[in-house]
Amino acid sequence: MLSNLLQSANLFHLLFVIDSELAAIKRSSGCPYCGGQLHQSNYMRQPRGGPAGLPDEYCLRRSLCCGRDGCRRRNMPESCLFMGRRVYWRCVVLIATSLMQRRAESQSIGELSRLLGISRKVIMRWFEYFTEVFGSSSEWLRIRGFLPASVSNDGLPANFLEYCMMQSRDALGGLVMCCRLLGRGG
């Protein structure tokens, strides 16, 4: 069952490592506005939907801040763990929405909601986002060109997740690939 993947601490570890690299790369390139040095100004989040007992550092949203007086602008590195301001982990949003799209006719959204421990309303909101907004988002457009035409906009995100799983050794690897492509754009 796909939802079991979300209980894997290894999944979060792999995504955390990628996020750490993304933050280091962004930091080394300096402030995009003035070229000043970037400092860490990370903050704690309390993302939902993962296994209990994950290390606190995984919940750190990386953030950088320009150290130059008169600029001091904040710079957010890309993230595979987090999806914008959503309170659930990115992988949870992807799995829940994909399961909702691929559920058997006999399975109601209410059952899925109970299985995942996520309210029906939240799952529906994610689904609407993927059907109405995501297809024209910059996040999607920057990777769309590298993907086969079979990953069409009207089947997102389940078709994209399935594509990643086909390209990977196992389901966990596919989910990591999916989060990585969406997070860093390629």
Torsion of CA 71, 74, 77, 83, to 10 degrees: -150
Backbone angles phi, psi at 60, to 5 degrees: -80, 120
> Sign (positive/negative) of CA torsion 12, 14, 20, 22?
negative
Choice between 42 and 131, CB closer to Zn ion:
42
**CA nearest 72: which of 115, 38, 123, 29?**
38
- Show contacts with Zn ion in window 123-142 (CB under 5 A): none
Choice between 36 and 50, CB closer to Zn ion:
36
Choice between 68 and 86, CB closer to Zn ion:
68
Q: Measured from the CB of residue 67, what is the shortest distance to Zn ion in angstroms?
A: 8
How crowded is residue 66: how many other Cβ atoms within 10 Å of its Cβ?
Answer: 22
CA separation for the pair 162, 94 (Å, rounded): 11
Residue 38 engages Zn ion in binding (rule: CB under 5 A)? no
Residue 71 engages Zn ion in binding (rule: CB under 5 A)? yes
Residue 34 engages Zn ion in binding (rule: CB under 5 A)? yes
Interface characters, 74-113, with Zn ion (x: CB under 5 A): ----------------------------------------
Residue 33 engages Zn ion in binding (rule: CB under 5 A)? yes
Q: Measured from the CB of residue 65, what is the shortest distance to Zn ion in angstroms?
A: 9
> Which residues, 6+ apart, have CB-to-CB distance to 74 below 8 Å?
41, 63, 64, 65, 66
Choice between 29 and 167, CB closer to Zn ion:
29
Q: Which residue ranges make up the site for Zn ion (CB under 5 A)? A: 31, 33-34, 36, 66, 68, 71
